Structure 1
Amino acid sequence: MATLLTRVKSRLFIPSSRKSLHALEGAHASLLRGRSLDFEDLRAYEHGDDIRDIDWRATARLSTLLVKRSRATRMHTVLFVVDTGRGMAALAPDERPKKDLAILAVGALGVLTLRHGDDFSVLHGDAAGVRRTPARRSEGALEHALRAIDAAAAPHAAASARDELLRAVVRSVSRRMIVVVVTDEQPLGDETERLLRRLRVQHDLLWITVRDADPVLAAAPRSPARAERRDVDSGWAVPAFLHGDDAVVRELREQREAEDARRGAALDALGIGHAALGSHDDAVPQLLRLLHRRADVGTR
């Protein structure tokens, strides 16, 4: 059976000549600004490299685009804050559990973290408690962390407690880190925004939203099994006759768009980079755009 990390890696190479693990890697390197670097060697330029790393003298001498590789002399720690309440066991738009997308996001960014020689840690939990893995720098530790997320985000888990996860970071993390919050579409309340303002002072924050599947389908499905939509918290089932109702579908779509706009405006106002993941096919491109946007902000 393939490990969770193997499955993640299989998604890091997209069927496109322009987007690959290296493109993600280049944006990730730019995000980690402010570190001290020692020159290591030269290599051929690849799409996604930061143009600031191009060695123009060597390029002119050898008539081929070359970039400088450096060895970091000051490491970073990336802290993944993952909501593993039972809501993460519900379906995403691609009809797979939302926790699978959370695992893909943490795994992809975790692989990049390791490739840059940085540490990572995972803090996850629900209303029943919060757990944190110690900072590590190995694929074995990353696999262990992904399995912990997979096991915790189950239908029988306690309810989500996103604010409690953020409070745990405030209480226990004193050293500056890159903090990546992975959660679902629940609205940002006043307390959430207060905690984010406090964390933003000390840490570089990224926010990844894992989308919920549409509770009402745009067309009535032929299969009764596909028609079933049940709330993971209350167990309430969406009546089958609502599927395909244009007015209901339109109202829910408009409500989601309004909530997306509110969330985006709040995160933008706080200076927090954000992305929304809805399927395994678009997850890596969305992460790529997020990292490039954050890298661009850091160069202004």
Structure 2
Amino acid sequence: MGKHLDRAKAHFGTDTRGLLEGGRYALLHNRSLEFDDLRPYVPGDDVRDIDWKASARSGNVLIKRFVDEKHHKMLLVADAGRNMTALSPSGEAKIDVAAHILGAFGLITLGRADQVGMVYGDARGCVNIRLRRGETHIESMLHRFYGHALAKPGPSDIACQLGYVATHYRHPMLIVVVSDEPEVDDHLDEAVTRLAARHEVMWAMVSDMPAVGAAPGGRDGFDVATGRFVFGQAAMEPRIVTAYRRAEERRRRQLDEFLTSRAIPHTTIEASSQIRTRITKMNEVFARAG
């Protein structure tokens, strides 16, 4: 495997049995018929399946027999904007955690020959990678996503990517969103509403390292969205720190209620070491859906 899939495998493992097999996703597939062998015609068979050349050679009417395969379609939708260059609570760069999450879902598709594509970007626009199968394809997607997020990305705006998918992907499929914890506003509400009306959606969010109280000595934090430093805990009054923490709790509660009310299974991941556990728990919610 390539380096990105190898890193994802180190955190997620290789056992993907039972994952993403419940919910409506079990119905969202593309049927392909693969030729198996020939057998004698019996009354009731579809005449369109008669192999006329083989029948002429054998002197008997023969029917083509097919194997029915189910290939699911998954689209990864990722925030590759400036917010993903910040640190997670574990001290890892959020882009690293996000890439490992995306890689984990890529590993899930490998065992079942599912088709997978990706839409990523920032507030400036989107990059669309078409659905395909295979390890090389998935590694290439992860490489391109990672490179974009490290090459002076624009401001994060996951609603931009969601709106693009809602407009350009018309056939139902599983959408896996990987982003930070976005602010709930009308822009996000409209994009999610449009997307969830047609597709099955799951959402994995990478959380930020707290702006205060995250490091010994209360060192100043840096806001990647604005390019400004924020005061460390040592420079703030206790009441300001308390107000900040309450505001963060309200924001996270509002986001949880927003996604829950739209029946979107979701999880928040603080470190790569949590990926296996958190995705498995989210999958349990997903499996009960539909």
- Structure 2-normalised TM-score? 0.80
Instruction: Describe the SS at the equivalent of 2:172.
Output: coil
Deviations, residues 188-223 of structure 1 (Å, cap 9, x unaligned)? 2122112212211210011111101111125633xx
Deviations, residues 223-271 of structure 1 (Å, cap 9, x unaligned)? xxx9342111222112345378654443332222211111111111111
- 1:183-262 equivalences under 5 Å are 183-218=179-214, 220-221=216-217, 227-240=219-232, 242=234, 246-262=238-254
More strand by share: 2
Give, in whole Å, the separation in 2 of the partners of 1:279 and 1:174.
Answer: 34
Instruction: Describe the SS at the equivalent of 1:134.
Output: strand
Match of 1:12 in 2: 12
Match of 1:165 in 2: 161
Give, in whole Å, the separation in 2 of the partners of 1:212 and 1:35.
Answer: 34
User: Unaligned 5+ residue runs, structure 2?
Assistant: 32-66
Match of 1:66 in 2: none
Give, in whole Å, the separation in 1 of the partners of 2:215 and 2:224.
Answer: 22
Match of 2:63 in 1: none
Match of 2:267 in 1: 275
Match of 1:90 in 2: 86
- The answer to whether residue 121 in structure 2 is matched with residue 125 in structure 1 is yes
Which is higher, the Rg of structure 1 or of structure 2? Answer: 2
Structure 1 residues 251 and 25, CA gap change in structure 2 (3 angstroms) = farther
Give, in whole Å, the separation in 2 of the partners of 1:219 and 1:9.
Answer: 30
Q: 2:256 aligns with which of 254, 264, 283?
A: 264
Structure 1 residues 117 and 238, CA gap change in structure 2 (3 angstroms) = same
Is this contact kept in 2: 1:217–1:243, CA < 8 A? no
**How large is the RMSD of aligned CA atoms in angstroms?**
2.5
Instruction: Describe the SS at the equivalent of 1:29.
Output: coil
Is this contact kept in 1: 2:222–2:229, CA < 8 A? yes
Give the deviation of 1:89 after TM superposition. Answer: 0.6
Deviations, residues 3-58 of structure 1 (Å, cap 9, x unaligned)? 01101101123xxxxxxx53x53132234322689xxxxxxxxxxxxxxxxxxxxx
Give, in whole Å, the separation in 1 of the partners of 2:246 and 2:233.
Answer: 20
Structure 1 residues 72 and 109, CA gap change in structure 2 (3 angstroms) = farther
Is this contact kept in 2: 1:8–1:107, CA < 8 A? yes
Match of 1:150 in 2: 146
User: Unaligned 5+ residue runs, structure 1?
Assistant: 14-20, 38-70
Give, in whole Å, the separation in 2 of the partners of 1:174 and 1:75.
Answer: 17
Supply the AA of the counterpart residue of 1:34: L
Structure 1 residues 281 and 244, CA gap change in structure 2 (3 angstroms) = farther
Supply the AA of the counterpart residue of 1:86: R
Supply the AA of the counterpart residue of 2:78: V
Give, in whole Å, the separation in 2 of the partners of 1:214 and 1:246.
Answer: 15
Q: 1:111 aligns with which of 94, 107, 116?
A: 107
- Structure 1-normalised TM-score? 0.77
Instruction: Describe the SS at the equivalent of 1:267.
Output: helix
Supply the AA of the counterpart residue of 1:33: A
Supply the AA of the counterpart residue of 1:282: Q
Supply the AA of the counterpart residue of 2:6: T
